[in-house]
């Protein structure tokens, strides 16, 4: 049981326990309450309290952990409120949401759902960095730390063309960095045993038979679009649908497998049976507008510390036979790759004709 409320085997379903003030008064054991530290370890009359997702104010003081304490989950109460939020000092103004700390039962504007629950709303003013007693409208409300919109075994249907979640922000006339959606995740513990960490994980899927979908059927794990309106006349304006950037976080890179802004990994072991394109990277220009570059790569030249070892790097691609197989060179003889050597190719298709750029290590004339 919880507080004075019996288990199901004591009462029958449908029996009313309390109708007083629509159930706003709840009676619980002192040991079930999180409350401020009063020196004796027990709750005092007027303390803000928390029990799971239930918040309220204690009606009386306790002398033992087994005492039953009635709390008010609504009403207007005078409480000490600290004028701080999750980012530092922040003045409290009338109407501000006030939260209770899950461990200390202190009140402030800190709203991190991992460690705070909504307690109520301020009806007074507290200067920045101060703690002051003000009137607070207590309001009990569940405070989940995540938002569920359909689950993996039961996807909920959404109206066509409408997103499940939408964020609209207008940053006109402002400066600095502005993020429509800011996702910050990480692992702070040392050691190699670390989880897979994804800033944004996009997974899109389709099921059932799809044939001749018109005009197109897109399945996109992550889709970034940029809309440019008005008159654009800015030399330093960068517009990118998907922008990948690696930012050094101050760590020491002694050994590292890869450091990639964008990583393309095609893991499908079997190609489709019909002759269609299967690409790790596919670029197209579906516009009559001429592009200056379809692919533009820039690397610092020379042997400076910022230079790149390779602009392009292609691992071994064996074709037409193993080492020692002759390769035609246009009629002036064959070139043969020595055993243990290596050769690579870059394929270029022009008007349907494929051309090769071939590089070999340890070639011999034959």
The two structure tokens encoding residue 143: 């405070």
For residues 114-130, average pLDDT: 94
Query: How many other CB atoms sit within 10 Å of the CB of residue 182?
Result: 8
What is residue 339's predicted lDDT score, i.e. its pLDDT? 53
Q: How confident is the model at residue 274 (pLDDT cuts 50, 70, 90)?
A: low
Q: Model pTM?
A: 0.57
Among 51-65, 86-100, 298-312, the least confident range: 298-312
Torsion angle of the four alpha carbons 85, 90, 95, 101, in this order, in degrees rounded to the nearest 10? 30
- Beta strands 68-72 and 76-82 are unpaired
Assess contact for 49 and 57: CB atoms under 8 A. Answer: yes
Rg (CA), the chain: 33
What is residue 306's predicted lDDT score, i.e. its pLDDT? 58
Distance CA 178, CA 182 (A): 9
Give the distance from CA 253 to its chain's centroid.
25
DSSP for residue 156? P
- Beta strands 353-365 and 334-350 are antiparallel
| Residue-wise pLDDT tens digits, 61-96 | 999 999 999 999 999 999 999 999 988 999 999 999
The two structure tokens encoding residue 132: 């002051």
Distance CA 283, CA 216 (A): 17
CA-wise closest residue to 343 among 311, 312, 315: 315
Give the distance from CA 330 to its chain's centroid.
55
Give the distance from CA 322 to its chain's centroid.
47
């Amino acid at each position: 049981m919880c507080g004075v409320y019996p288990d199901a085997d004591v009462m029958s379903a449908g029996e009313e326990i309390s109708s007083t003030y629509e159930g706003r008064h709840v009676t619980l054991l002192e040991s079930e309450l999180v409350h401020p530290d009063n020196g004796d370890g027990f709750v005092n009359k007027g303390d803000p309290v928390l029990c799971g997702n239930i918040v309220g104010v204690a009606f009386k003081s306790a002398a033992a952990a087994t005492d039953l304490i009635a709390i008010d989950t609504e009403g207007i109460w005078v409480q000490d409120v600290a004028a701080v939020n999750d980012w530092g000092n922040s003045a409290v103004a009338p109407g501000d949401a006030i939260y209770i700390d899950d461990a200390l039962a202190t009140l402030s504007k800190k709203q991190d759902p991992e460690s705070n629950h909504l307690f109520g709303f301020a009806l007074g003013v507290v200067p920045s960095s101060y703690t002051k007693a003000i009137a607070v409208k207590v309001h009990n409300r569940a405070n989940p730390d995540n938002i569920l919109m359909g689950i993996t075994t039961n996807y909920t249907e959404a109206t066509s063309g409408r997103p499940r979640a939408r964020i609209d922000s207008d940053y006109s006339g402002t400066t600095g960095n502005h993020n429509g959606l800011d996702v910050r995740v990480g692992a702070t513990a040392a050691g190699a045993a670390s989880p897979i960490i994804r800033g944004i994980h996009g997974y899109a899927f389709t099921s059932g038979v799809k044939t001749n979908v018109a005009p197109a059927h897109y399945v996109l794990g992550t889709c970034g679009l940029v809309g440019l309106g008005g008159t654009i006349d800015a030399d330093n304006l960068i517009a990118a649908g998907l922008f990948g950037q690696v930012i050094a976080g101050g760590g020491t890179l002694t050994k590292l497998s890869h450091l990639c802004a964008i990583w393309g990994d095609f893991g499908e072991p079997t190609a489709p049976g019909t002759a269609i394109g299967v690409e790790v990277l596919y670029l197209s220009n579906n516009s009559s507008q001429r592009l200056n570059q379809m692919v533009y790569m820039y690397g610092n030249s020379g042997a400076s510390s910022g230079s790149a070892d390779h602009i392009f790097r292609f691992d071994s691609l064996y074709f037409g036979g193993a080492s020692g197989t002759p390769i035609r060179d246009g009629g002036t003889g064959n070139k043969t790759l020595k055993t243990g050597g290596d050769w690579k190719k870059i394929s270029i298709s022009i008007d349907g004709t494929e051309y090769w750029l071939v590089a070999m290590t340890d070639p011999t004339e034959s």
